[in-house]
Every structure is written in structure tokens, then in C-alpha cells.
């Protein structure tokens, strides 16, 4: 009997509760998709190093899934509150007819069980279907070849989804039982007659709070943009974040008391059509949801920043490879190590022979396996530290950037060596007089620091020869092949000046003497195999290859993107669902108000227009403030991630906007249609 009643209740309520079912199914589907990535990688033909990155990504996604489960659990419990509130009168009638609270709890138990089962089944079907598309996206992200495409069902992801969501539904059942045990008949029967009172706050207090909050928010924006150089420790970073969160709360609090007053004073707008009804409804909702609107706004802000940054990092790292990794291989070796250095005696002795000789001892014939070979030295001396090369600008820079190591030795390269490398890399070559030097760098923050020193015309006296800067700005360029902009600055000096300075490092750059990718991979494998050579244990030679840098960059970019997408989509779903459920709950409460408007002659077109505007403003309000926050938040992210570059930021923002429009806009549309159905005259 109770089971049949539960089925009938669910069948009757499907149209009204589309948001609840949609959110449950979407949550299950997204959870399964991201946890099924591990099983999808079996079809991918990638290198062992890429598999290691994939394993790391899967481990991190598993950890993130625990956090996501908490978010979804909160969302499901919150959504269930909407269902309970929507059916208060129904429960009151059950009690009036003599049904016990225990039986009502059983009805809710069966309903939760049925809803949970349906959402799990449909969500898993949806997730399994979409995960096949995800497998192609995964392969594209890692730029892997699909050995053989086949349908994949991840039993581990399915089991994890079943366990996590079963726990959530059990908590919902406990929550429902507790709520039913505390409810009173009089409250249930009169629930729909209660209305929210619009508390008109003192406008002067609201204005003062708004101005203070706006100023505090402006200070937080300043800290993460113009004052970002002071944000070097965790506590300093947390301060503007805390100020921004508190200010956002008071911005909503003050606006909730001001907006209605402002619009009431503009009579042409306030009394046009049903604007007075729409604005009072909106003001009432904002008045009673200040805290939840703040949380939603911050979640949307987090979503925009995470999605934009994650996608940007991946795109930037991929694009960097074409310009910053121009050669197939680059070897590095410490040279002329002093006998009192921290290295072993074997490495100290080995530092006296060149990279070419070292490779030959490792049975790698340079002339046989490499072409376009360039060999050059990097010089350094403790007589020339960073603080010495900044000149009169040092004190100002040290105050502004106290965390930097100013006792680090500078590095130098001969002009002829740099020009050979620049020609090979496709960079600008330089020409110096005997008394000039330039600095080559590509790390934005350090370029600004170096430029301060150059503008002060800092002289360098090397081996009795005084050099002055040729330019008052750095030349953009790099020496080492990487997937990031990490060159803090290297001095290009006339050849004759560096004759007596000790060598710090020798670098050999070359292309593989091969015509196909398979031949290049064989040479790469040969180099990797030298790690097991006895001699390799007693030398300090290291290498960076285009293949290894490509694999690690692609893998890291894909990992960051998937984690960012996972968190961003879940936060976006949670934000939109909370707004949607709140709006549906309000539509239920306002049903009588819309009925009254019909009685005084308002047609359906005007009612639907008023409802559309009301829901639209409710959805747009936190999103607009979140977008304003995100403008400054993304600038802060750019600063933190500047080594990856920022050329692909616009593309990532466009992709993020598309995701938000699709999910957030989809929830808005469904909310409007469901609310329209709720207020419709039967």
C-alpha cells in the first residue's frame, strides 16, 4: 500500500521536480565519467612516462572525487529540503486522515529508494555513453593513438559511484525521518499560507555598509593585481581572499535593502507592467538568501577562475613546445668543479672533460647519432651576484621583492656562442661593442626586475674591463629548452671578456640524425638506456629531449585540465541547482499570488514575462558579481602561472563561457519552464 502510494507520488511529481531528477542524474553521470578515465586509458598507445602521468592523474582524480562527493551530498540534501517543503500540505493531510509519522517516513523511504535507483541507473547509462566520448577527449589530450576503439564500461567507477551515492541517499533517508518526527500538523497545513515579510532596512545604514564593502573589495582587488608582488606567503594570499568573501556578503546584504528603494523612487520603471510585483518578489528573495547568494557567487567565481586557468595552462604549455623546444636534444653538464665542492670525487674529476667526451664514454657516438650540433659554455662567478648587477635599483627591488635570492651568482655566455644558438633557435641575434652587455630573459617578473637594473645603467667590471648595458631593457630569449618561461636572465658578453671566468656548465644542443619518428625514438631509447651504465652513476650529465618534454607537458596539461573541469563543472552544477531549487520553492509559495493577479485581469503573457524576469534577475545577480571578481581573480592566476605564458587565455575564457552558458543557462531555462508549470492555472 505505502509502496504503491510512493510510486504514484513520484509519477505525479516528475514534471514539477524535473530539476531534482536532472541534478541527480547529472551528478551521477559526471561522477562516473571522471572516475572511468582510468579504464579508458587501456586503449591508448602511449609511452611509459605518459602512463606514469596518467596514473598520477587517476590518483588525484580519486582524491578529488571524495571532495566532490561531499559537495554532491550537500546538494542532494538541500534539494531534498525543497521536496519536503513542496509537500508540507500533503503530509498535513496524511496526518489529518490518521496516518502515523512512522508511515509517512516509510513513504519517504520508498520514494528516496525509488528515486535513488532511477537516478543511479539513468545516470550510469548517461555516464557510460558520454564516457565513450570522454575516451576520445582523453586520447586527444594526451595526443595518443587509439590502438583499437571499443566500448568500455568501468566496473570500478560504477562500484565507486554506487557506494558514494548510496551513502548520500541513506543520509537523505535519515534526514527525512528526522524532519518528519519534528513536524507539527498546524505548521504543515498552513505552510503555503506563510509569506516572507520584506524587511525594509535603514537605507542610510545600507549605503554606509555598501560603501565600506566596496572599498574593502577594492582593496582586495588591489592586493591581487597592482599589489600582487607582496602576496608571497600563504597568510598574505588568504587575507584578500577573506576580505573579498566578507565584502561580498555585505554587498549582497546592503543591496538587498537598497535595490527596492532605488527602483521605487524611479516611478516610470517601478509602475510599468508587473515590475512592482517582480521587483518586490526579487527583493524579498535577496533579503532572505544573503548568505546562500554569497556562497553561490563565490562558487561561480571559483568555477570561472579554475576552468579558465586550467584550460589556459594546457593550451599555453602545448603552444610553448613549438617555440621553446626547437632542438631534439639538449645535454647539460657541470664543468670545472672545485675540489672542495659538495660533489663526489668521481664527478669532480669527470667535470674536466667535455659533454662530447662524456657521451662517448657512455657509448654514444655524437657524430653518428646527432646532427646540427652546437656546443657552448655557461660561465659564472661568485664575484657577480644578483644584488651586484642591479646597481642603484637593488634597495628598491629588495624592498619590493624580499623573498628573492639576491646572493645567487649570475650566469654569462659569450656573444658568439649565443648568436650560434639564437640562429639555431630562430631568435634575434645580438651585436655588442667591446664595452657593452645585454641581458636575455623570458620570465616576465624577472624581466621587470632586470629592466630596473638596466635603466640605472649598472656597470660590470670583469677582468679589468668595464661594461655598460647596450639597452635599458632585456632581450626576449632563452638558453635551456623547457615548456615554460623560466629564464630569469643570462648576460651576453663580448667573447674576450670571459676568457678568465670559470665555466659553470657546458651545453650541447643537437637534432637527431634520423628521418622518421621511429628512428628518433630509437636514439631516444639509446640515451635513456645509458642510465643503467656504471659510468652514468659517476657523472653529472643530464639531458632534456623534445620527446620527453613533449610527453611531460602534454601529460601535465591534460591532468590539470581534467581536475579543473571536474571541480569546475561540479561547482557550477551545485550553484545552478541551488538557485533553481530556491526559485522553484518560491514559485510554489507564490502560486496564490499569481492566482490573485489573474483575478484582477492580468493575462498569461504578462505573468510569464514577469516570471521570466524574476528568475532571470535571480540567476544573473550572483553571476555578474562573480564575473567582476573573476576579472581580478584571473589576473592573479596569470601572475601565479606566468611561467606557462598567457597567450591562450582568451581561448580558455571563451571555452569557459560556453560551459557556463550551457550548464548555468540550461538550469535557468529548466527552472523557468518548471516554475511556469507550477504557477499555471489547472
pLDDT digits (tens, 9 = 90+) for 70-104: 888 887 877 777 666 666 666 667 667 777 777 77
* Cα torsion angle, 470, 472, 473, 474, sign: positive
Q: CA–CA separation, 104 vs 524, rounded Å?
A: 70
Other Cβ atoms less than 10 A from the Cβ of 160: the count is 18
Q: What is the pLDDT of residues 581-617, one digit of tens each?
A: 888 777 777 777 777 777 777 777 888 888 888 888 8
pLDDT tops 50 at residue 196: no
d(CA 351, CA 344): 11
Q: Is the pLDDT of residue 195 over 50?
A: no
pLDDT tens digits, residue range 422-474? Answer: 999 888 899 998 889 999 998 888 888 899 888 888 888 888 888 999 988 99
CA-CA-CA-CA torsion sign (380, 381, 385, 391)? negative
Residue with cell 624581466: 447
Greater pLDDT, 27 or 182 = 27
Q: Residue 247 pLDDT > 60, yes or no?
A: yes
Q: What is the mean pLDDT of residues 504-522?
A: 90
Question: pLDDT tens digit string along 112-165?
Answer: 777 778 888 888 888 888 887 777 777 666 666 655 556 777 888 888 888 888
Query: Could you give phi then psi for residue 543, rounded to 5 degrees?
Result: -140, 150
Supply the DSSP string of 210-244, one letter for each residue. HHHHHHHHHHHHHHTTTTGGG--SHHHHHHHHHHH
Q: Does 293 score more than 60 pLDDT?
A: yes
The pLDDT assigned to 107 comes to 74
Q: What is the mean pLDDT of the segment spanning 543-559?
A: 82
Residue % of the chain over a pLDDT of 90: 11
Nearest to 491 by CA among 406, 398, 392, 380: 380
Confidence of residue 187 (pLDDT cuts 50, 70, 90): low
Residue 388 pLDDT > 80:
yes
Higher-confidence position of 499 and 418: 418
pLDDT at residue 375 in the model = 92
Q: What's the average model confidence in pLDDT over 240-265?
A: 80
Q: For the residues 408-424, what does the mean pLDDT come to?
A: 92
195 vs 205 pLDDT, higher one: 205
pLDDT of residue 493: 92
Nearest Cα residue to 123 out of 164, 77, 71:
164
pLDDT digits (tens, 9 = 90+) for 27-54: 888 888 888 877 766 556 566 666 777 7
19-23, 380-384, 552-556, 621-625 — which one is most confidently predicted on average?
Answer: 621-625
- Provide the pLDDT for residue 16: 59
Pairwise pLDDT comparison (527 vs 195), residue with the higher score: 527
Put simply, whether the predicted model's pTM sits higher than 0.75 gets the answer yes
CA dihedral 338, 341, 345, 350 (to 10 degrees): -50
Average pLDDT on 175-193 reads 64
Q: Name the more confident of 245 and 138.
A: 245
Q: What pLDDT is recorded for position 256? A: 72
How many Å separate Cα 616 from the centre of its chain? 27
The percent of residues in the chain predicted with pLDDT above 70, rounded, is: 82
Strand, helix or coil at 510?
Answer: strand
Amino acid at each position: 500500500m505505502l509502496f504503491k502510494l510512493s510510486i504514484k507520488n513520484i509519477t505525479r511529481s516528475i514534471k514539477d521536480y524535473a530539476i531534482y531528477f536532472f541534478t541527480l542524474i547529472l551528478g551521477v553521470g559526471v561522477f562516473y565519467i571522471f572516475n572511468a578515465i582510468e579504464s579508458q586509458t587501456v586503449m591508448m598507445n602511449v609511452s611509459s612516462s605518459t602512463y606514469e602521468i596518467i596514473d598520477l592523474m587517476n590518483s588525484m582524480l580519486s582524491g578529488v572525487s571524495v571532495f566532490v562527493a561531499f559537495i554532491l551530498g550537500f546538494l542532494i540534501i538541500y534539494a531534498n529540503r525543497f521536496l519536503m517543503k513542496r509537500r508540507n500540505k500533503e503530509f498535513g493531510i496524511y496526518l489529518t486522515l490518521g496516518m502515523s509519522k512512522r508511515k509517512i517516513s516509510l513513504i519517504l523511504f520508498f520514494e528516496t529508494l525509488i528515486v535513488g535507483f532511477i537516478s543511479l541507473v539513468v545516470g550510469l547509462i548517461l555516464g557510460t555513453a558520454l564516457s565513450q566520448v570522454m575516451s576520445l577527449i582523453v586520447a586527444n589530450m594526451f595526443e595518443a593513438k587509439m590502438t583499437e576503439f571499443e566500448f568500455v564500461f568501468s566496473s570500478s567507477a560504477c562500484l565507486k559511484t554506487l557506494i558514494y551515492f548510496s551513502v548520500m541517499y541513506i543520509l537523505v533517508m535519515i534526514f527525512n525521518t528526522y524532519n518528519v518526527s519534528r513536524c507539527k500538523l498546524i505548521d504543515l497545513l498552513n505552510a503555503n499560507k506563510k509569506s516572507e515579510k520584506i524587511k525594509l532596512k535603514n537605507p542610510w545604514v545600507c549605503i554606509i555598509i555598501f560603501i565600506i564593502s566596496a572599498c574593502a573589495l577594492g582593496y582586495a582587488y588591489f592586493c591581487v593585481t597592482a599589489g600582487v608582488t607582496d602576496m608571497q606567503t600563504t597568510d598574505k594570499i588568504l587575507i584578500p581572499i577573506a576580505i573579498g568573501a566578507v565584502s561580498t556578503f555585505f554587498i549582497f546584504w546592503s543591496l538587498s535593502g537598497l535595490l527596492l528603494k532605488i527602483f521605487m523612487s524611479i516611478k516610470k520603471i517601478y509602475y510599468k507592467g508587473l515590475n512592482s510585483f517582480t521587483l518586490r518578489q526579487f527583493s524579498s528573495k535577496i533579503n532572505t538568501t544573503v548568505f546562500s547568494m554569497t556562497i553561490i557567487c563565490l562558487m561561480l567565481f571559483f568555477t570561472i577562475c579554475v576552468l579558465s586557468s586550467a584550460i589556459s595552462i594546457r593550451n599555453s604549455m602545448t603552444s610553448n613546445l613549438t617555440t621553446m623546444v626547437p632542438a631534439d636534444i639538449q645535454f647539460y653538464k657541470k664543468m670545472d668543479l672545485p675540489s672542495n665542492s659538495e660533489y663526489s670525487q668521481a664527478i669532480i674529476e669527470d667535470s674536466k672533460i667535455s659533454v662530447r667526451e662524456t657521451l662517448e664514454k657512455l657509448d654514444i657516438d655524437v657524430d653518428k647519432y646527432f646532427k646540427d650540433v652546437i656546443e657552448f659554455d655557461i660561465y659564472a662567478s661568485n664575484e657577480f651576484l644578483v644584488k651586484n648587477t642591479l646597481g642603484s635599483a637593488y634597495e628598491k627591488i629588495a624592498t619590493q621583492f624580499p623573498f628573492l635570492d639576491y646572493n645567487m651568482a649570475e650566469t654569462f655566455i659569450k656573444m658568439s656562442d649565443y648568436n650560434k644558438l639564437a640562429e639555431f633557435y630562430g631568435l634575434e641575434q645580438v651585436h655588442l661593442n667591446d664595452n657593452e652587455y645585454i641581458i636575455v630573459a623570458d620570465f616576465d617578473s624577472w624581466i621587470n626586475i632586470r629592466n630596473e637594473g638596466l635603466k640605472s645603467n649598472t656597470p660590470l667590471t670583469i677582468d679589468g674591463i668595464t661594461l655598460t648595458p647596450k639597452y635599458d631593457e632585456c632581450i626576449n630569449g632563452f638558453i635551456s629548452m623547457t615548456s615554460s618561461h623560466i629564464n630569469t636572465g643570462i648576460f651576453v658578453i663580448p667573447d674576450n671578456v670571459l676568457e678568465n671566468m670559470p665555466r659553470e656548465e657546458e651545453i650541447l644542443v643537437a637534432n637527431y640524425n634520423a628521418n622518421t619518428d621511429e628512428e628518433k625514438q630509437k636514439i631516444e631509447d639509446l640515451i635513456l638506456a645509458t642510465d643503467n651504465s656504471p659510468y652514468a652513476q659517476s657523472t653529472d650529465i643530464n639531458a632534456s629531449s623534445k620527446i620527453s618534454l613533449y610527453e611531460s607537458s602534454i601529460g601535465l596539461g591534460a591532468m590539470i585540465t581534467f581536475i579543473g573541469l571536474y571541480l569546475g563543472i561540479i561547482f557550477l552544477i551545485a550553484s545552478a541547482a541551488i538557485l533553481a531549487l530556491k526559485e522553484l520553492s518560491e514559485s510554489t509559495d507564490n502560486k496564490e499570488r499569481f492566482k490573485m493577479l489573474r483575478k484582477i485581469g492580468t493575462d498569461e503573457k504578462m505573468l510569464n514575462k514577469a516570471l521570466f524576469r524574476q528568475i532571470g534577475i535571480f540567476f544573473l545577480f550572483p553571476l555578474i558579481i562573480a564575473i567582476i571578481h573573476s576579472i581580478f581573480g584571473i589576473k592573479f592566476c596569470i601572475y601565479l602561472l606566468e611561467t606557462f605564458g598567457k597567450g591562450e587565455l582568451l581561448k580558455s575564457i571563451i571555452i569557459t563561457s560556453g560551459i557556463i552558458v550551457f550548464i548555468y543557462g540550461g538550469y535557468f531555462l529548466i527552472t523557468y519552464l518548471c516554475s511556469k508549470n507550477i504557477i499555471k492555472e489547472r
